[in-house]
Amino acid sequence: EVIEDEFSTDEQVIVRTWVATDEAGNSTTVTQTITVADILAPTIVSQPNDTTVVCGSEIPPVVPPVFTDNCEEFIVDFSEVIEDEFSSDEQVIVRTWVATDEAGNSTTVVQRITVEDNVAPVLVSVPNDTTVVCGSDIPAVVPAVFTDNCDEFVVDFSEVIFDDYSTDEQVI
């Protein structure tokens, strides 16, 4: 038995030879060639699930998938990118692992973490309703205060004056 390319990473050839010789010196030779090739990519044993989190909460830690391969060693490359990084309502973190064996076969695992802003701003304080005596100065506008778990936000303010001439009152 002869093993060719014994230390090759992607293919190995085994040649088996049988020689039958009778007492008269006549012989017949037969060979069998076995080619061992790594044509299978690494397989996935376990992988992280896609998930959705609320903006402002902790992003799940990186939990790498587990791979196995039928032949040789393999390497795993990891990358993480943020899609829609400047979106105001949603971001997606894409984590990608690529397991590549020595023969160049590869398997890819992708985990998507969606970060959603689905919580409205929360009111922290608002000026109290008040009554002023006719002819007095109207109090200056005191802004309402809000917080939000995610992004910057806009507070729109409007003021409407209602006159009720029958009662000599104005509601602002």
pLDDT digits (tens, 9 = 90+) for 107-145: 999 999 999 888 888 999 998 888 888 888 888 888 899
Instruction: State residue 35's pLDDT score.
Output: 87
Work out the average pLDDT over 69-83.
91
Alpha-carbon span 101 to 77, nearest angstrom: 11
Work out the average pLDDT over 15-20.
93
pTM of the model: 0.66
